[in-house]
Structure 1
Amino acid sequence: MRKFMWLAIAVVVVVGLWTAGWLWAAGEATRQVKLLAEADGETAPKLTCGTFDVSGFPFRFDLECLDATLVDQDLTASFAGLKGSVLVYAPSHLIFSAKAPFSLADAFSGSQRRLDFGAMEGSLRLTSTDLVRGLSGEGWRIARFSLVADDLAVTDVVAGEIVEARAKHVEAHLLDVPELHDKAAGTAALRGYLSTTALDLPGLQVIAADTSAEVELTAVPDDLRAFGEPDALRRWQAAGGALSLTKLAGSQPQPEERFEITGALKLNGGGYPEGEISYTTKGVLDRFAQFLPVMQLAMLRGAPNADGSFRNSLTITDGQVKLLAVPFAQLLPLF
């Protein structure tokens, strides 16, 4: 009987401690959201929720913010609803979803846009360089970020409603590349994937286009906190970082147009982009026929392929963009 009594007491104590811990964490999350609402929106972003709720006891934290407004200097973003869920025993894995619409207003330019969608959800999973050091917040990097959305529409609402873009499906993924993680140098690598289905751009007469992109970013910091530092780009350049565009492609059926772009870019010591970009097009550059002389259009297209497409390449040296060794643009330094 005594053993049973002590077991019952132990269970009650454990449940009590677990409940107290969960309530403390829920209260801390609420306190942090209230602190964000007290920011001035100038020196620090200000986030206010019309309704904020924490649920999911006992093994999950579900944080939901409805009718939210985010103010960051000239930018004001409004969200119908955001929800994030984290398991108590897997705090580095966040699952989130959103409710439409989103809106963004820029007081400086006067632009106002609204994003509508049927569904939007995703997840973020972090991994730590060192689990012990990670307890203090140090050394966390992205293991995987995913976002999936359906039936999107971007609308300019400054004067009436003008649809600027629509897509049936959008999918984006960002993944850590473990084999390129250099623990000694404190750098990591990321691979990104993006695709759109049935993309319409009315202003550019693009209808039912499909696009896809694959990129790789090397020598980025393996601590997420370093991304917000003022000299982040300079440190990336010093570490030998590079942006590789494995493939950027798009096509539409009517009129038949397609393109594919590959290349790689780095920054030199002065902050100027350098690299080479190759592209293949069919029909896309014909859009410039009414604006460019025949010789310039031919130079832009490049050499013909057997299937009626054209291939060409650009070189960028010290920020100067050259096409067939002819300079035609100068890029500004990034730091």
Structure 2
Amino acid sequence: MTAPPLVQGEALTRAFPRRGGLFGGGAPVVALRGVDITIARGEAVGVVGESGCGKSTLGRVLLHLLPPTSGRVLFEGEDLAEQPGDKLRALRRRMQMVFQDPYGSLDPRRTVGAQIADGILIHGLAQGAEAEEQVAALLRQVGLDPEHAQRLPHEFSGGQRQRIAVARALATRPDFIVADEPVSALDVSIQAQVVNLLADLRAQLGLALLFISHDLHVVRHLCDRVVVMYLGRVMEEGPAEAFFRAPMHPYSRALLAATPSLRHRGPVVEPIAGEVPSIASPPSGCVFRTRCPMAQPACAEAVPPLEPLPGMAGRMIACRRAAELV
């Protein structure tokens, strides 16, 4: 019998109400629209797409930091929304997040050692000297000196702060980590160090990782599988190697074409035309149709389901003209 995925999102929708301001009082803004996603134990899944496509919202919903408006999140087959407080608290120990801004996610008034120790103490994993020893071990694990535990966040570089954020996420011994653009604010050389650190830790600890990024190079290096999002919907999903070798969806092809060193073999793809529509009022039918070079009038009629591509293991695409893309 096949084991269930470690994390599974089913038909996830997340809407945000409009309150006050110039546009207040209207219909809710829907950031996720029926997203299905699975993450196996030890697997790294990259989520890519333009800004505002719902990547960060998806990560927060999977961690139950934001409850879904509809749909459900399962952790080892258990619906997070149905768990009592004590059970959900225990599950939260096994799910952690590394935020995009390593400085904004740390308390500037507390030592980094104290912040790394928070999860250890809150979940009763150790106390006193034993907790201090675990903090020291975590700092070594991410390539920092244990003596750094007594310093404040402003005393570190951006790369060091992100390593501290990783150490804090690891403190509760999680099985699943959401890394939300964890290297976008760092210099290129520091980005490589942090990405390699995540890859090493994943291999050593068997972590499942949801890696949210707009940097396709990093996703190709780190991830086993790629999920492409646009205006709250999944456009394409598949194994990373196959995806980067031959993207299928017109949007995926345009994304890779915008990164010259990742351009796939095949016909030349022109850059995506036009602006991203407002997520508050997306196009009918296929949300990408207003910018798609292959769009037909029928594309406006119904939302194309995310379906497997025949003969292509693990490849899925949401496009009415999928048969023409193979």
TM-score scaled by length of structure 2:
0.26
Structure with the bigger percentage of strand: 1
Structure with the bigger percentage of helix: 2
**Structure whose CA Rg is larger:** 1
Q: Which has the higher contact order (CA 8 A, sep 6+)?
A: 2
